[in-house]
Chains A and B, each alone.
Chain A
Amino acid sequence: MLGPVDYVLWLASFLLEVFVVVCAVRSKSFLSHLSLNLYMLAAAVVTVGQYVSIQRFGFQSLQYRYYYYYSESLLTIVMFCVIIQLYQHVFVEMNVSRYIRSAAAILLLATAFFSYAVVRENKDHLTSRFVVELGQNLHFCGVVLTYLLWGAILKLRETRTRLIQLVLALGVYFSATAGTYALRNLFPGLQESVLRWVPPLIGTWLPLAWAYTFSKVPEDARLTTARLLVRAR
């Protein structure tokens, strides 16, 4: 059963997702971050769809479960477009957009194939297992891509604060989600107690961090990335 906290988190993430788009439009960044804004709109639509699905079929229903996992997987694929666009922002002066797009597409197909290969033998639970496995692998791919992007930002001495914060927030989101999926695979018993709360919280984090970036960080703000690196003295 869903409690008031679930509904509050739901409403908060929906409002924040819409708020990100509003902030981007207000700061005239909608087109320059088109994929990101489309992702946020898609996430808002999926959030509404989840609510409708629960009201209609129930939280424990198979329909809701399939809707949840498939919509999450599709959103993750849309998120790959966001990463690709962030790569293009970082490599804007090097004219390598075509190569970035090709590499991301190959990686995505490879991940889907790997996930299918892993669960191919479990034909009795193929569909549900496949989506969980695919979710874990897609999010982990996201972690790797974001990590590489962060490496490129450091290497190229990128100073645009907005871009840096967008990428770091994405890194937090992907790593937390991939970690949760992996933990769910390792200890399925934790799903009902602890892990139930993690995805909605992470789902709120990303629009919150991006809304902060669009509303607080000016387009021309600059930051030295070397200052962010952790140095134990």
Chain B
Amino acid sequence: MIIAALIFVFSIAAFLQFFIWHCRSILASSRRVELSDRVREVTGIQGGSFGAEDFSRLVQLVRLCPERGDDQGEIRAVGTYYNLLDFFGRMARPAIPRVAAWAEQERVNCSYFAAVALDRRISYSRDLFTQQVADRL
């Protein structure tokens, strides 16, 4: 019983760490991408960076665009990560402000990831539109 309890505690701690690192490795790929003016225009955010609360709105905008068919999985994974951070952030805010601040920063990264996904979808929509116009001509 003691061994099972120890294995359980260690496994849960390891699970959380691995899951967070895995999500961060997905987010890291989007951090280097410079956002276009188009996406800032569409989202109404000029110059400044995205806030943690912008994530849901950005994902809604992503869903309005035609699907590229290759980004659904990562958007869903980051969405799960965002919800998990939201939960932990709320739980930690009264007791451990440092953890709450970290969760907030991570949620901002999630928003940036969603903005990059939106940017790619907008480019894809434009390409589709251009292709359709060219086909008609």
Contacts and interface: CB of A to CB of B under 8 A. Distances in A.
A183 B1 CA distance: 10
B68 to A, nearest CB: 12
Interface in B96-110: 96, 98-99, 101-102, 105
Interface string A167-180: 01101101110110
Q: Is the interface of B mostly helix, strand, loop or mixed?
A: helix
A231 interface: yes
Contact of B4 (A136, A174, A217): A136
Contact of A179 (B1, B11, B26, B29): B11
Interface residues of B, number: 32
Given A186-B4, A233-B101, A175 B14 contact: yes
Contact of B21 (A178, A185, A228): A228
Contacts of A31: none
A221 B29 CA distance: 9
A224 to B, nearest CB: 8
B107 to A, nearest CB: 14
A182 B5 contact: yes
Interface in B1-47: 1, 3-5, 7-8, 10-12, 14-15, 17-22, 24-26, 28-29
A81 interface: no
A150 B7 CA distance: 19
Interface stretch (A58-66, A101-109, A208-216): A208-216
A109 B17 CA distance: 28
B135 interface: no
Given A228-B21, A233-B98, A175 B12 contact: yes
27 contacts: A118-B3, A136-B7, A143-B10, A143-B11, A150-B21, A161-B25, A165-B25, A171-B14, A172-B22, A175-B12, A175-B14, A175-B18, A178-B7, A178-B11, A181-B7, A182-B8, A185-B4, A208-B73, A209-B22, A215-B70, A223-B29, A227-B24, A227-B28, A228-B28, A230-B17, A232-B98, A232-B102
Given A185-B4, A230-B20, 4 more contacts: A168-B18, A171-B22, A182-B11, A232-B99
Interface of B: 1, 3-5, 7-8, 10-12, 14-15, 17-22, 24-26, 28-29, 70, 73-74, 77, 96, 98-99, 101-102, 105
